[in-house]
Amino acid sequence: MCHAFVNVSNGVILIKLVVETLRDRKADVGSVRRERRFELRGGVPCLDFVNTLSWRLTDRPVEYLGSYEDLLAWGRQAGLLAPDETEALSRRAATDPEETRATLSRAVALREAVHRVLSTTIADEPRDEDALLTLNRELSGALSRLRVAPAAGDSYVWTWERGGVDGSRPPLERPLWPMARSAAELLTSPKLDRVKICAGEGCGWMFLDESRNASRRWCDSRDCGNRERVRRHLARKRVSDS
Ligand SMILES: [Zn+2]
């Protein structure tokens, strides 16, 4: 949501632009703890995960993964964790704060590695071998937990190993598995050419451009697209008023 104020006093034109983006309003968890809401605009899970750091291209990026609970909330909202899995992981996290903190650090490191691999590819820069190593290390652990399970009728589905049901402790790194797999699938897919960085100033969010003529520019036209329209409007006004 954007508000533009134009005040004229003593011949001086003061233009104040207040931009309240959808993402930051929804991501604000406030003083009373409630589940953080994530904007899922990436098109694939790994890009939505990369976008858990906002305003990446500014000197004040906003971190949405402030806690392991945020990581669980992201996984559930992205449809990668079932509600009962989320609850089991939350209970486990409460009993093991040290490993929980370490797992959150791993998640952030994986996110940054995926971002690095993608951003160097988009910019046609030399590959970052360390970032690829981090991704492959997590991918190796993730794929060892991949299973085939019976589904409706005679069919089968890919699924992830579940903990906690038979009394075992659910693995805290569970939210990382689909993220690593999603990144590997995207990097090896022709869709890699369609990964873009939002044109919004400072935004830095990534998305998969699935528009027919590859013309998508914004993470969201109501957010960065709208800010750009306001910016252009004010620039035109400054020119016409001068
Ligand atoms: Zn954007």
What pLDDT, in 10s, does the model give residues 136-165? 999 999 999 999 999 999 999 999 998 655
> What separation in Å is there between the alpha carbon of 225 and the centre of ligand 1?
7
DSSP state of 193: G
> What separation in Å is there between the alpha carbon of 200 and the centre of ligand 1?
5
Its pTM stands at 0.82
> What separation in Å is there between the alpha carbon of 208 and the centre of ligand 1?
13
For residue 93, tell me if it sits in a domain. Answer: yes
- How far apart are alpha carbons 3 and 16 in whole angstroms? 9
Domain with residue 131: its CATH number is 1.10.3300.10
For residue 184, tell me if it sits in a domain. Answer: yes
For residue 24, tell me if it sits in a domain. Answer: no
- How far apart are alpha carbons 24 and 51 in whole angstroms? 12
Domain that includes residue 111, residue range: 42-218
For residue 71, tell me if it sits in a domain. Answer: yes
- How far apart are alpha carbons 54 and 184 in whole angstroms? 22
For residue 55, tell me if it sits in a domain. Answer: yes
> What separation in Å is there between the alpha carbon of 241 and the centre of ligand 1?
29
- How far apart are alpha carbons 238 and 7 in whole angstroms? 13
> What separation in Å is there between the alpha carbon of 104 and the centre of ligand 1?
25
Local confidence band at 241 (pLDDT 50, 70, 90 cut-offs)? confident
- How far apart are alpha carbons 162 and 183 in whole angstroms? 21
pLDDT at 230: 83
For residue 139, tell me if it sits in a domain. Answer: yes
Nearest to 182 by CA among 121, 89, 114: 114
